[in-house]
Structure 1
Amino acid sequence: MLVAGIGNVFLGDDGFGPEVVRRLPPHPDPAVRVVDYGIRGMHLAYDLLDGWDALVLIDAVPNRGVAGRLQVFRAEPDGTGAANLDAHAMNPEAVFAGVRALGGTVPPTVVVGCEVETVDERMGLSAPVAAAVAAAVVAVGRVLTDLTAAGPDQSRPPPE
């Protein structure tokens, strides 16, 4: 399983994914790889060609009313997206399209996201998003446990 922290640390709460990855304890299973991709979408696309059983994306998500609220959900990549990959930007849908354009298959994907307060140019997370990091570390652990228990077909839904 590939665990990917994504986001731009120079845009406030967009740095949520890299911060969670930084705080994740080493995983005992050597089949689990944890990487801070930051904004390197091409790097993630190429790594996804290695045939992972599952992908866990840790990312900032749009604010739907409560900054700092965690959301865990299965991503349903739209197969119609164009592969407009920018080596210095991270758009998950463009990454998924890039994987398909390169002949790969996007693995079952679970997102551990946090609603942002601000993505203005600045270093550091806002207080509500920073407060959600510890809970996100726990959530990633639960997702990995559930995905491992489900096996390669990933038939179980992610935890709520």
Structure 2
Amino acid sequence: MTIVVIGLGNDLRRDDGIGPTVARAVAPKVGPDVQTVASGGDPVALLELWAGADLTVIVDAVICDPPRPGVVHRLTPAELDAMRAGMFSTHGISLNDAVRLGAVLDRLPRRMVILAVEIADLDDGRGLSPAVGRAVDAVVSAVLSEIGAPSERVV
């Protein structure tokens, strides 16, 4: 089974770094059969990363109105499409648009799960806001649960 974990975001835009932060935290907890990647959201790179995978888990920051920083939404691509009116991507091309492009080009994984973390702070700079920072452990556990990995890897 091919599994890919993608943390979308930009570490230099505060809460937008939640995806890469989670990807880095997941990497040492999984075996070599799970690919973990921090990605800036380039659609071509995403298509290459997830094409043909059995399972892709994506962690991404979303802006909601009203914001509830740290709240995590578990979504399928269809649910992401349905929620787009209340959620806004932090990327030039939204994850939803990248998924649609992947569908048209037949470059999707067999199954995709999106863990969308609500954020509020997109200022320049490193470090997550306290509310989003408190969500990291829960999101890491959610990723490990989705891929069927134990929450703590015994070395």
Aligned residue type for 1:52: A
Identity of aligned residues (%): 30
- The question of 1:143 aligning with 2:146 is answered yes
- The question of 1:60 aligning with 2:61 is answered yes
TM-score (norm 2): 0.74
Identify unmatched segments of 5+ residues in structure 1: 79-87, 147-160
Distance 1:130 1:90, change over 3 A: farther
| 8 A Cα contact 2:5 2:56, kept in partner | yes
Partners of 1:65 and 1:94 in 2: CA distance: 22
1:97-155 Cα offsets, whole Å, 9 max, x none, are: 33234342343211122110212233221111011111111111111119xxxxxxxxx
1:65-144 matches, cutoff 5 A: 65-76=67-78, 89=92, 91-144=94-147
Q: CA RMSD in A?
A: 2.3
Which residue does the alignment assign to 1:47?
A: 49
> What SS is found at the alignment partner of 1:20?
helix
- The question of 1:32 aligning with 2:34 is answered yes
| 8 A Cα contact 2:13 2:124, kept in partner | yes
TM-score (norm 1): 0.72
> What SS is found at the alignment partner of 1:46?
helix
Aligned residue type for 1:127: P
| 8 A Cα contact 1:55 1:109, kept in partner | yes
Aligned residue type for 1:113: A
Partners of 2:119 and 2:76 in 1: CA distance: 19
Distance 1:105 1:10, change over 3 A: same
| 8 A Cα contact 1:100 1:106, kept in partner | no
> What SS is found at the alignment partner of 1:22?
helix
Identify unmatched segments of 5+ residues in structure 2: 82-90, 150-155
Distance 1:60 1:124, change over 3 A: same
Bigger strand fraction: 2
